Homo-oligomer: A and B are copies of this chain.
Amino acid sequence: MTIGVVGGGQLGRMLALAGIPLGQKFLFLDRSTDTPAGQIAPSLVGEFTDQKLLRALAARSEVLTFDWENVSLAGLRALGRATRIAPPLAALAMSQDRIAEKRLFTKLAIPTTRHLAVDSVPSLVRALRTVGLPGVLKTRRLGYDGKGQAVVRTIEEAWHGFEKLRGVPLIYEEFVPFDFEVSIIGARSRSGEIAIYPLNRNLHRDGILRLTRAPFGPAALQRRAAHHLRRVLEHFRYEGVLNVEFFVRRGKLIANETAPRVHNSGHWTIEGAATSQFENHLRAILGLPLGATTARGHAAMINLIGTLPARPLVLATPEAHWHDYGKEERPGRKVGHVTVLADSAQRRDAAARKLLRAIDPVALRAL
């Protein structure tokens, strides 16, 4: 069976590595063949909006999925009933629009930030008055890894942010002085089965995820996050893996955003969970029984940003696992990750600290 994947980045690469043992074949669509996924499976080369290519991909695949959420919704919608697409396009549409996302959170009784849409000076003024300062001005669409955002502490910063981002629909949100960030990943299969992973505790710097540690307690937080995630999965009669990110303030969860796909904060599941998020995404869209999502020990996932450190340096830690995405090194680019496993959270953190000292002193200081 061939799985068509729109996008051939590292998420596609790890999907293929998980799917090959399941007996799957893969066909990717991306702008070049020398993508992380294209190095291990065939690719169609062109724009994500190219209707002819999308149709060719659909014709050669039993099911279509995507490895990032900024793929062309219109392009996929135009395929109509030509192919089965999973996750559902309604979930993709929601995740592409921050206002729709917040509206859904509210509808499903999931606490989220106060916010207003901004598309003009009067609406900005209204937003500043209603939501107050400080806040964050963001593009409604196509934001990821901290791109398309401006933190607003003063009226002046609001005007600067508006000048920088205007021209596209925006959202103004309250700034949440959170204690820390978590995310939760779950899968829902075609049959309705749901499996949810332990909570991830995430550390971002400059909008980019640097470090995830899992499983993260306490149990009450896990239960509440899983409850929220389950509501989103059931709302869409979802197929595949979905991630929800939350701020945590004074023990309360405040939903920030969703990703209708495998997620960077779930990379630790490759070694750290009974079944990886990549395998469960595939099982879910193929209608196979889901694999166990229990943690196996305590994992820390460190993103490798810009450059890869020396392999022997990292692998000298016997429980470290290396993930090279096959990408050219470039500042700010995710080129790989390292996962370290231990049998206690304390030992995991000690090992992570030792690695961060060598790899990412910025994240180390924040830990």
Chain A contacts to B: CB under 8 angstroms? 13, 17, 20-23, 25, 39-41, 274-275, 283, 288-292, 296-297, 308, 311-312, 315-316, 318-324, 326, 336, 341
Cβ–Cβ contact A315 & B341, under 8 A: no
Chain A interface mostly: loop
Contacts of A13 in B (CB 8 A): 20
Once the chains bind, are B21 and A315 in contact (CB under 8 Å)? no
Contacts of A341 in B (CB 8 A): 274
Across the A-B interface, give the 3 residue pairs with the lowest CB-CB distance, nearest first: A23-B324, A292-B318, A289-B315
A172 CB to closest chain B CB (Å) equals 41
A316 CA / B289 CA spacing, docked (Å): 5
Which residues from B are CB-within-8-Å of A324? Answer: 21-23
Verify B274–A288 contact, CB threshold 8 A.
no
B residues near A22, Cβ cutoff 8 Å: 311, 322, 324
Expressed in whole angstroms, the Cα–Cα distance for A324 and B20 within the complex equals: 8
Q: Are B312 and A289 in contact (CB under 8 A)?
A: yes
Given contacts A274-B319, A275-B321, A288-B312, 8 further A-B pairs with CB under 8 A are A17-B17, A20-B39, A22-B311, A22-B322, A23-B324, A274-B341, A289-B316, A289-B318
Give the nearest-CB partner of A308 in chain B.
B23
Q: Taking CB as reference atom, which chain B residue is nearest A25?
A: B39
User: In the assembled complex, which residues on chain B have CB atoms less than 8 Å from the CB atom of A326?
Assistant: 20, 23
The verdict on A290 contacting B274 (CB below 8 Å), with A17-B17, A324-B21 known, is no
Say how far A268's CB is from chain B's closest CB, in angstroms. Answer: 14
Once bound together, how far apart are the Cα atoms of A308 and B21, in whole Å? 13
Cβ 8 A contact of A20, one of B17, B275, B289, B318: B17
Bound-complex Cα distance A362 to B364 (A): 55
Q: List 19 A-B contacts (CB under 8 A).
A: A20-B39, A21-B323, A21-B324, A22-B311, A23-B324, A25-B39, A274-B319, A274-B341, A275-B321, A283-B315, A288-B311, A289-B315, A289-B316, A290-B318, A291-B315, A291-B318, A291-B321, A292-B318, A292-B319
Alpha-carbon gap, A289 to B336, bound state (A): 19
Distance in angstroms from A314 CB to nearest chain B CB is: 9
The answer to whether B289 touches A322, judged by C-beta atoms less than 8 angstroms apart, is no
A61 to chain B, nearest CB (A): 17
A352 CB to closest chain B CB, in angstroms? Answer: 16
Contacts of A23 in B (CB 8 A): 308, 311, 322, 324, 326, 336
Contact of A40 among B40, B283, B318, B319 (CB under 8 A): B40
- A274-B322 contact in complex given A17-B17, A21-B17, A288-B311, C-beta closer than 8 Å: no
A308 contacts across to B, CB distance below 8 A = 23
